[in-house]
């Protein structure tokens, strides 16, 4: 069935739109037309039921009538029906939106079917200020639009909350996987996959149920893994991530003081039973310079770089080299795992010589990579001689750069460090 003009079909939704426009009694209390326009524009932009052409056409209509609609806020005599009527022709919308006439007609039919506009056509089918496209159905449904926008905002917040929580649980599972036993790793992998699926879910109701289940499973795994860690906890103060970088700060400073004499045996002293001799670990052979000479040179280098020195009269040179090697490893960026493997392969003294050469030798371009290259070699009887490289980089360390300031300016040069006494 067609309307009075005979060119528009009459549908139940078009009749409902006409009823909404004629039955408009005003906006809800506390809401004006300025705020209503904002709500309508937000609803149009985020609506999934409207096509792009319908959105463009409705936004263009609101733009044409915005000034007259906003003028109704200060009108005390009630609203004017013509203020909400768009009388622009289809040719005007064609120029505004750069769309064809047929596209404009389809978009207008879609808006009528969605009960967003009322086509109050004149018998002559010409649009005037009293006969045209009426926008009052939009303002009659303003409460419905507000509720839809609030529900959409809550759903977006819930989805964002789900994504953040699933990402947090995935990070916790990755941390538990490093300490878990092999029989627990398959459970961690299953929960990680559930976290990936949950992050992509749009159904917040089902997603929150999955989030609750995964959270309970992660809490159970934490208790299981932590109990096993407490049973076999390492007493070492360095029990942290093996890939974490070393630091220059020592957790405990214990000096190995050489004994000055042997303690006399008295009657109160009791002889202990002889303990079996421990098996000496087999290290790769490393030959280097004298420990005292190396410690003195490294001390000069550390002072040149502004680092802390470990020189002490009661500290043996070997102990000083161990402390210097740890600082050198931290300075060049060697991880704890590499540092431990280097000691297990070359011993403490051999590892100290390698690390100190990597730090001070100008010929070493990539100190950390050069140190790691020694771990690729197998434990063989091949001798590693570091004496010749030491005499090369010792001369570079012994030079201290100083800046001599005078009244005419500043002169920078290289000066040989004076020899140490003794």
pLDDT in the model for residue 230: 45
pLDDT in the model for residue 412: 33
Map 12-79 to HEC letters: HHHHHHHHHHHCCCCCCCCCCHHHHHHHHHHHHHHCCCCCHHHHHHHHHHHHHHHHHHHHHHHCCCCC
Q: Which residues have a Cβ under 8 Å from the Cβ of 72 and sit 6 or more positions away?
A: 33, 79, 80, 83
d(CA 154, CA 164): 15
pLDDT of 228 strictly over 80 = no
Mean pLDDT of 188-212: 88
Mean pLDDT of 205-225: 85
Q: Which residues have a Cβ under 8 Å from the Cβ of 335 and sit 6 or more positions away?
A: 242, 243, 244, 245, 246
Each residue of 395-422: pLDDT tens digit?
777 653 333 233 333 333 333 334 444 4
pLDDT of 308 strictly over 60 = yes
d(CA 294, CA 289): 6
pLDDT-derived band of residue 56, with 50, 70 and 90 as boundaries?
A: very high
* Contact predicate 82/154, CB 8 Å: no
d(CA 129, CA 121): 11
d(CA 166, CA 194): 9
Kindly list the domain boundaries of the chain, sorted by start residue: 12-140, 157-231, 286-416
pLDDT of 276 strictly over 60 = no
pLDDT-derived band of residue 226, with 50, 70 and 90 as boundaries?
A: low
Mean pLDDT of 270-283: 51
CA dist list (Å): 41 to 24, 72, 106, 361: 20, 18, 21, 69
Lowest mean pLDDT among 7-21, 153-167, 400-414: 400-414
**What percent of the chain stands above pLDDT 90?**
10
Mean pLDDT of 49-58: 91
Question: 3-class DSSP state for residue 251?
Answer: coil
pLDDT-derived band of residue 52, with 50, 70 and 90 as boundaries?
A: very high
d(CA 316, CA 348): 14
CA dist list (Å): 241 to 10, 176, 266, 338: 74, 12, 48, 12
d(CA 132, CA 82): 9
pLDDT of 155 strictly over 80 = yes
d(CA 357, CA 363): 10
pLDDT of 259 strictly over 60 = no
Which residue carries 């609030």 as its tokens?
150
pLDDT-derived band of residue 258, with 50, 70 and 90 as boundaries?
A: very low
Each residue of 70-103: pLDDT tens digit?
887 766 555 677 778 888 888 888 988 999 999 9
Please give the structure tokens belonging to residue 400: 């201290």
pLDDT in the model for residue 235: 41
pLDDT of 269 strictly over 70 = no
Q: Give the orientation angle of helix 12-22 with respect to helix 101-113, to 10 degrees.
A: 70
Full-model pTM: 0.45
Residue 60 CB neighbour total at 10 angstroms: 19
pLDDT of 30 strictly over 50 = yes
Lowest mean pLDDT among 35-44, 156-165, 238-247, 249-258: 249-258
pLDDT of 129 strictly over 90 = no
d(CA 355, CA 213): 50
d(CA 400, CA 412): 11
d(CA 54, CA 316): 86
pLDDT of 217 strictly over 80 = yes
Each residue of 96-124: pLDDT tens digit?
899 999 999 999 999 999 999 988 877 77
DSSP 288-299: -S-HHHHHHHHH
Note the helical H segments in 131-203.
136-140, 142-177, 182-199
pLDDT in the model for residue 419: 43
d(CA 66, CA 86): 10
pLDDT-derived band of residue 178, with 50, 70 and 90 as boundaries?
A: confident
Taking the alpha carbons at both ends of the chain, their separation in whole angstroms is 116
Each residue of 361-393: pLDDT tens digit?
888 888 888 888 888 755 455 677 787 788 778
Which one has a higher pLDDT value, 77 or 249?
Answer: 77
CA dist list (Å): 150 to 50, 182, 191, 202, 204: 19, 47, 33, 17, 15
Please give the structure tokens belonging to residue 344: 């297990």
Mean pLDDT score across all residues of the chain: 75
pLDDT in the model for residue 288: 82
pLDDT of 237 strictly over 50 = no
pLDDT of 223 strictly over 90 = no
């Amino acid at each position: 069935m067609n309307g009075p003009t005979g060119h528009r079909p009459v549908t139940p939704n078009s009749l409902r739109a006409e009823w909404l426009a004629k039955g408009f009694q005003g906006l809800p209390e506390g809401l004006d037309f300025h705020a209503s326009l904002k709500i309508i524009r937000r609803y149009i932009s985020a609506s999934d039921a409207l096509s792009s052409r319908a959105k463009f056409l409705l936004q263009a209509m609101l733009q044409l009538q915005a000034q007259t609609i906003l003028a109704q806020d200060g009108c005390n005599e009630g609203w004017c029906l013509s203020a909400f009527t768009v009388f622009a022709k289809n040719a005007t919308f064609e120029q505004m939106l750069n769309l064809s006439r047929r596209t404009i007609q389809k978009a207008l039919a879609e808006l009528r079917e969605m009960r967003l506009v009322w086509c109050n056509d004149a018998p002559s089918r010409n649009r005037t200020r009293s006969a045209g496209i009426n926008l009052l159905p939009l303002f009659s449904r303003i409460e419905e639009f507000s509720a839809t926008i609030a529900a959409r905002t809550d759903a977006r917040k819930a989805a964002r909350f789900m994504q953040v929580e699933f990402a947090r649980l995935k990070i916790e599972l990755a941390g538990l996987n490093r300490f878990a036993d092999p029989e627990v790793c398959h459970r961690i992998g299953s929960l990680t996959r559930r976290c990936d699926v949950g992050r992509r879910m749009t159904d917040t109701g089902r997603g929150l149920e999955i989030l609750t289940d995964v959270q309970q499973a992660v809490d159970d795994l934490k208790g299981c893994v932590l109990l096993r860690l407490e049973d076999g906890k390492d007493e070492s103060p360095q029990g942290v991530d093996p890939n974490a970088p070393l630091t220059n700060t020592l957790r405990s400073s214990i000096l190995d003081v050489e004994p000055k004499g042997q303690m006399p045996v008295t009657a109160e002293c009791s002889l202990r039973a002889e303990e079996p001799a421990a098996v000496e670990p087999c290290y790769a052979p490393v030959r280097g310079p004298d420990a005292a000479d190396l410690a003195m040179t490294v001390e000069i280098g550390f002072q040149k770089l502004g680092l802390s020195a470990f020189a002490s009269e009661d500290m043996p040179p070997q102990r000083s080299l161990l402390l210097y090697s740890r600082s050198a490893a931290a300075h060049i960026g060697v991880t704890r795992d590499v540092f431990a493997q280097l000691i297990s392969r070359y011993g403490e003294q051999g590892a100290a010589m390698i690390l100190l050469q990597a730090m001070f030798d100008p010929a070493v371009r990539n100190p950390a990579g050069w140190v790691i290259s020694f771990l690729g070699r197998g434990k063989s009887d091949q001798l590693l001689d570091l004496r010749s490289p030491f005499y090369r980089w010792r001369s570079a360390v012994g030079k201290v750069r100083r800046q001599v300031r005078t009244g005419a300016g500043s002169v920078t040069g290289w000066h040989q460090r004076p020899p140490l006494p003794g």
